[in-house]
Each structure stands twice: as structure tokens, then as C-alpha cells.
Chain A
């Protein structure tokens, strides 16, 4: 019993470390990637001076994120004279918390045998085995959508309690946009559920472990390429990032629903946005890119089709799986940043037209085609 607690405590610590790490690093990645994409250098002036020396550590501008955080912490926490201070204070957390919670059901690694991994503790752990995931829930995917939907409430709450026209407009935009794209998101994933026959994320990832036709990895993106594109688009819209950043369109609405927020409360909104990039990356990886799976990687090591086998110890397999997952998430995050710095913002009516007249029918068509194909594969029953 206590062993379960220890292992899951370690998982939770790892998950929080990963999310916070991604949230911090992505601010830097976003800056630098945008700079490199547009022939610039990017922020590179913040430094740490080693005390009593003239050695300045710049490290490619990595410390700018820390400087930002410090600035947000030390700023005056200005509050508007709003009539709903409670909602005002709670709103950033309502946005921030569900974003973190989504990660609880995402498997970030395969089987873990702590007894094999730490031989001195072998007789304490026995032959227990764990899936590297905080909570294995049968309704994993549904939990993801349930928590994802809660972010809308936070945005609406923030806009309403600020008692500010711009905030309210931003909140209305956020509400209608996020609800529209939530629908598309759900419909695209339905096709995937038809293919895998389950909403348990652990099971979904496990089904993506093999190869098909000899070389092609059996990832979701191979079965459902349309759904992958639609999912990523809808997810970016869900996160309110640039082609879809109408709720916080700074040229029209100052900062949208968090106009009246300052200091660390505003920081929470920003941080939630960056963590959600990582969450979208993790979800996309789990659903479409095979999670922690690499082609030919099994629990015993790489097994290539010609009969070659590269045996790996259990620890090596675990580390490979963790790193594979992180690398895939990072690639998806980087792609989102590429999109954010390439495309211009939609007009507001275009955003909703795009959701209801373009993506929604496409998602439905994808679902119908998937259903028909699955039905015919199942022998028409």
C-alpha cells in the first residue's frame, strides 16, 4: 500500500516538474523560435553575474523568463473597484488548475517495475508493476474534456467580475469561441474512439505500440490523418493562441478578459496558456503520435523485423520511453509556436464560420467515414 503511495507521489512530482518546466522553458522557446524565424537574435541580455566576479552568465537568454517572473511577482497587485472581488480573485485559479489536472490521466511512460529498477528495494516492492501515469481512469478522455471545458468558466468569470467593457467583450468572445471549438474537438476524437474502441488513454497508447505494413508505426495519425489536423487546429483555437486569439486581441480589446488583471494573477493566465501548449502537445502525442512508443521498441528492447534485437535493461527502456514522450511533446509545442508566428489573426465572424461551417462538417464527415470503414471491417454487423 505504502509502495503505491511512494510510486504515485513520484509520478505526481514528475508530472508537476514536467509541466512547470515546460511552462517556463516554452516562454524562452517561443521568444527564441520567433526570433530565429524572423532573422532576429531574440532576448539575450538578462544575465546572472557570479558574485564577486565579472563573469556574466547569459546562457542564450534563458534568464529572461526568470526576470519576467520576478517582475510579475514584485509588481503591485492592482485591483479594479469591482463589485465581485471573490470571482475576480478565484478566476485565474479556475483557469490554471484544470489545465494542470488534465495531465493526471495522460500516460507518460510504459510499464514500470520499481523492484527491477531499484534492486536494493526489490523485496519491498515485490513484483508490483505500474503504468507511468498518475491516475488510470477508464474515462480518461472524458476527464480530459471535462477539465478542458472548465477553462471557459474561468475566462468568463474573469471577464464578468472585472466590470470592464473590454473584459466582458473578451469573455464573451472566449466563451463562444471555446464552446464552438470544444464541439469540434470532441467530434474529431470520436473517430479515434471508434478506431480504438476505448476512452482509456493507457489502452489507446498501448494499441499504438506496434507497426503496421512492416515499417509504418501504428500511430493514430496514420489511421486518422484528417482528425489529427482538425484536432490540432481546434486545440489551438481552444487555447486562444494567435490565429484564434480573438478573446485577447490586443489591438481591439487591450488584453481581453484579463485586461484588469496585473502582477502574478495576470502571470497565472499567461502561465496557464503556456502550460496548455504543453498539455495540447501531450494530448496530441497520446492520441495521434503513439505516446511514449517508438517503432520496434518493446519492453525488452528494440526488436527489428529481420529478427535483430537490441536488448535493453528495464531502466534503459523506462528512460527511453520518458524521453520519447517529452521529445514528441516538445515537437508538437514547437509546431504550435511555428503556427502562432506564421499566421495572421482571423476576423471574429471568420473564427465562428470556420468552426461551424468548415471544421464541424469536416469532423462529422471524418466520423461518418470512420464509422463506415470500421463497420465494413467488422463484417457489416
Chain B
């Protein structure tokens, strides 16, 4: 059996090198110039007090290109007087597929319009799946999701809970929670 000598296949778009590229040394110098140039540029930026890197310091910094539609964190809305809009009805905790919301209701005799309020409202972010069902289930527009992510990197899963005070940090001037009872509605408080 006669075997033909191996001949490498040639392709139509085979890259061809000029002698300049083949000498390699010039291309090495060019490559070193590029990396060295980038080093100098970034170093100059660092030394003049700017950031010379594309990296984001993760927990400390939020990337500018977070999607506006990102749902990363829950917030509790507030009434104009600063009390939580939540009436501790436990609907979000019931619908939650991951069972991460824990609410402890309390009674407030001074506010007859909404006597029930959450004394504790805590979310376990180590298990939350960010499905947004809690937001849909809420009859009061009391819980929403915002695009920021909670500052949670931790070595201990028990520290990945977010408490009521943190959820109530959200205080937007516009886009406040819808008032209860609704304006012009029938149920005026006594």
C-alpha cells in the first residue's frame, strides 16, 4: 500500500505574513509598545487621582450600566408621615415561593385607619429568588422592587437578612405609595 506523503491543506484565506511580521522582533516591539503604553496611560490616571481601570469595586460601587428594569432589592413604601404603608396582612409572605419573608404584626391603637402594622419585616436574601410575586400580591402598594442590589456579601448566611429599618430606607419624593384610603373614596376614616 503506497502512502502518499502528508501535504498540508491550503486554505483560500490562509494568513500570509510579510517579512516584517515574520521577523517577529518588530512585532514584539510593537506589542510591548502597546502594553507599555496602556500601562503608562493607566498609571498616569491612577497618579492623577482618577481610576485607571475598568473594574468596579464590587460591594462598594454600583455599576453605572445597571439595567433600569433590574429588580435587585425590595423596599417598603411609606406614608407621608413616615410610617410604613404595610398593613402586615401577610399576603406577600403567603405567596412567596421561597418562603423568605417573615412578618410580625403589631397593633397600633392610635391609628384607627390602619391599626395593624409590621413590627418586624424581614427578608432572607440568601434564599430570595427575586420573582416579584410579593410586589404583585401586595394590596397596599407597600412593597416594591428597585434596581439596586442589597449590600450583602457575607461569610455567614444569617447575616443575609434585611430588616424593616433597612427596607424603609427608601424615601422617594415623587412616586410615593398610593394613599389609603384612596382619595375621593367612600371610606373616610372616622
Q: Which residues of A contact B (CB under 8 A)?
A: 33, 35-41, 338-339, 341-343
Q: Of B36, B52, B55, which is within 8 A of A338 by CB?
A: B36
* Chain B residues whose C-beta falls within 8 Å of the C-beta of A37 in the assembled complex: 35-36, 38-39, 42
Whole-angstrom distance between the Cβ of B43 and the nearest chain A Cβ: 6
- B53 at interface, CB cutoff 8 A: yes
C-alpha spacing A33/B39, complex, angstroms: 7
Shortest beta-carbon distance, A181 to chain B, in Å? 17
Pairs of residues from A and B, 5 with the lowest C-beta to C-beta distance, nearest first: A342-B35, A37-B39, A41-B55, A39-B54, A36-B42
Whether B55 contacts A342 by the Cβ 8 Å rule is no
Name the A residues within 8 Å of B46 (CB-CB).
36
Query: Are the CB atoms of B53 and A40 closer together than 8 Å?
Result: yes
Tell which of B28, B31, B43 touches A36, judged by Cβ atoms closer than 8 Å: B43
User: For residue A358, which residue of chain B has the nearest CB?
Assistant: B24
State the Cβ distance, B147 to closest chain A Cβ, in Å.
Answer: 24
In the docked arrangement, what's the CA distance between A38 and B55, Å? 10
In whole angstroms, how far apart are the Cα atoms of A349 and B39 in the complex? 32
Q: How far is the CB of B51 from chain A (nearest CB, A)?
A: 8
Complex contact B39–A41 (CB within 8 A): no
A-facing mask of B9-44, CB < 8 A → 1, else 0? Answer: 000000000000000000010011011101100110
B57, CB-defined interface residue at 8 Å: yes
Minimum CB distance partner of B51 in chain A? A41
**Is the CB–CB distance between B31 and A35 below 8 Å?**
no
**24 residue pairs from A and B, CB less than 8 Å apart:** A33-B39, A35-B53, A36-B42, A36-B46, A36-B52, A36-B53, A38-B38, A39-B38, A39-B42, A39-B53, A39-B54, A39-B55, A40-B54, A40-B55, A41-B53, A41-B55, A338-B32, A338-B35, A338-B36, A338-B39, A341-B35, A342-B36, A343-B28, A343-B31
A243 to chain B: closest residue by CB: B28
How many chain B residues touch A (Cβ–Cβ < 8 Å)? Answer: 16
**Chain B residues within 8 Å of A40, by CB:** 53-55
A-B contact count (CB 8 A): 40
CA distance A39 to B39 in the complex (A): 8
A350 to chain B minimum Cβ distance, whole angstroms, is: 10
In the complex, which residues of chain A have a beta carbon less than 8 angstroms from the beta carbon of B43? 36
Name 19 extra pairs, CB < 8 A, besides A40-B53, A342-B31, A343-B32.
A33-B39, A35-B53, A36-B43, A36-B46, A36-B52, A37-B36, A37-B38, A39-B38, A39-B42, A39-B54, A41-B53, A41-B57, A338-B36, A338-B39, A339-B32, A342-B32, A342-B34, A342-B35, A343-B28
- Cα(A35)–Cα(B42), bound, Å: 10
Complex alpha-carbon distance, A33 and B52, angstroms: 12
Chain B residues in 8 Å Cβ range of A33: 39
Neighbouring B residues of A36 by C-beta, 8 Å: 39, 42-43, 46, 52-53
The complex places the Cα of A307 from the Cα of B38 at a distance, in Å, of 41
Min distance, Cβ A363 to any Cβ of chain B, angstroms: 14
In Å, the complex CA distance between A35 and B52 comes to: 10
Task: Determine the residue in chain B with the shortest Cβ distance to A42.
Answer: B53
> Which residues on the B side are within 8 Å of A39 (C-beta)?
38, 42, 52-55
**Complex-state Cα separation, A39 to B54, whole angstroms:** 6
Whole-angstrom distance between the Cβ of A369 and the nearest chain B Cβ: 18
Which residues of chain A come closer than 8 Å to B39, judged between CB atoms? 33, 36-37, 338
- The complex places the Cα of A39 from the Cα of B55 at a distance, in Å, of 7
